[in-house]
Structure 1
């Protein structure tokens, strides 16, 4: 069974730009199925602001054949050694909504036993370029909703020009995440996600879009001086 990873690291401008321009590909990295290398962004920040595009901060979301090849990549590959200096989590696939090319998403879906267990959510979209202004209008309120939600311990967005945008969030419990998705959370922002999904169904922003849910397996490293973002996880550094 394949395994996924999500990596965050702050590096030099040159290393970051090189990773975005020349991401790892399966033919050059043993055991890699697919990887998306993106520039990190602050959720909910103004579109034209220094915090929106964090050029030196890269996010890598990848699918691998097994855990052994991940460890080899982090110790032997040039980009892997950079990523090993940051923070990353290994993820076991649970469910998918929508579809995306590149990854080989398992067809068999599963659920975690307890609604109180932590989960990780990843979204990836390939944008229709004319729809970007409309997407920003409806998407930024949802970004703020996720960013400010008490159920998240880490949340961010990322982008790879010109079309790929993504979000990543760690939730203390599956219940808190699904309550947010269905508009059952409390507060004035509770319907932002529901309303944005209605608008997307009316006229899609993307030509490809997927939401992926994972059970975290392990967590290693630090991000911005912090670690142990995933609650109730025994495999931590």
Structure 2
């Protein structure tokens, strides 16, 4: 199934040996090695809100991959191949692109908006950033409170962050509804200090933390496998294989 020129996106989470994760961080899969794959970001998971100096800040046994594909057949073919079997043992969600804020050069050709959505439907948000290394201390200072805000919001069913040294950071979250996500972004929640996200974004506008930064919104279309002993992170979506 093809969704126009934007393709199909996936977010994968899987536990792997440290050596395998390290290899995938250094040499991510790409169009030259995986048919139908347009781009992939491979990152080691971090625990949201973890101390700056902590083993949880770089979990080499837990890999996240955010990828753009030609179509779902390409995803199925890769997961059935020897190279993709390690991903097939984990969890992933397949997604249709809806919207972006800003852009990164690795994901060209995406319109600012590619469809309509209902405020009560579930949504997946992914952010990818290339850090300015001198700005990392500022980023951590302003970003860790936002990490905890997303982690603790009852509207999010899954929230995480990941990194690939030296300077790529990503966050991902699944929300029960679009409304719940936008309420968090605009500080309309019952959590303490609900404006943490707005404050951090204002600080980024004052002096950017990043060389490149983009946030993407997706409609989840199918969910596969399990993560942390759970299935069904996307409300109302029948689980896949």
Q: Would you call these one fold, judging by a TM-score over 0.5?
A: yes
Give the superposition deviation at 1:52.
Answer: 2.0
2:69 alignment counterpart? 64
Alignment correspondent of 1:7: 12
5+ residue gaps in structure 1? Answer: none
1:84 maps to: 88
**Residue 203 (structure 2) aligns with:** 199
| Runs of 4+ residues over 4 Å off in structure 1 | none
The offset of 1:233, in angstroms, is 0.8
Query: What TM-score do you get using the length of structure 2 for normalisation?
Result: 0.95
Specify which of 147, 158, 165 is matched with residue 162 of structure 2: 158
Alpha-carbon distance in 2 for matches of 1:158, 1:113: 27
**What is residue 38 of structure 1 aligned with on the other side?**
43
The whole-number CA distance in structure 2 between the counterparts of 1:53 and 1:124 is 16
Task: Let me know the Cα RMSD of the aligned residues.
Answer: 1.2
Distance, in Å, in 1 between the alignment partners of 2:191 and 2:229 is 30
In the alignment, the residues of structure 2 paired with residue 110 and residue 25 of structure 1 have an alpha-carbon distance, to the nearest angstrom, of 24
- Paired with 2:153 and 2:82, the residues of 1 have a C-alpha distance of 37
CA distance in 1, matches of 2:23, 2:113: 35
TM-score, normalization: structure 1?
0.96
| Structure 1 position 106, deviation (Å) | 2.2
1:105-116 residue pairs with structure 2 within 5 A?
Answer: 105-107=109-111, 109-116=113-120
Q: CA deviation at 1:224?
A: 1.2
**Matching residue of 1:50:** 55
Structure 2 CA distance for partners of 1:65 and 1:104, relative to 1, 3 Å:
farther
> Structure 1 residue 77: deviation in Å?
4.3
* Deviation at residue 235 of structure 1 after TM alignment: 4.5
The whole-number CA distance in structure 2 between the counterparts of 1:156 and 1:230 is: 15
CA distance in 2, matches of 1:108, 1:203: 23
1:98 lines up with 2:84 in the alignment? no
What residue in structure 2 maps to residue 75 of structure 1? 80
Say if 1:230 and 1:133 are closer, same or farther in 2 by CA, change over 3 A. same
Give 1:38 shift. 0.4
Alpha-carbon offset, residue 154 of structure 1:
0.5
Quote the Cα distance in structure 2 between the aligned partners of 1:67 and 1:3.
Answer: 7
Aligned to 2:137: 133
- Post-superposition shift, 1:108? 5.9
Equivalenced residue count is 236
Whether the 8 Å contact between 2:128 and 2:171 is mirrored in structure 1 is yes
* Unpaired segments ≥5 residues, structure 2: none
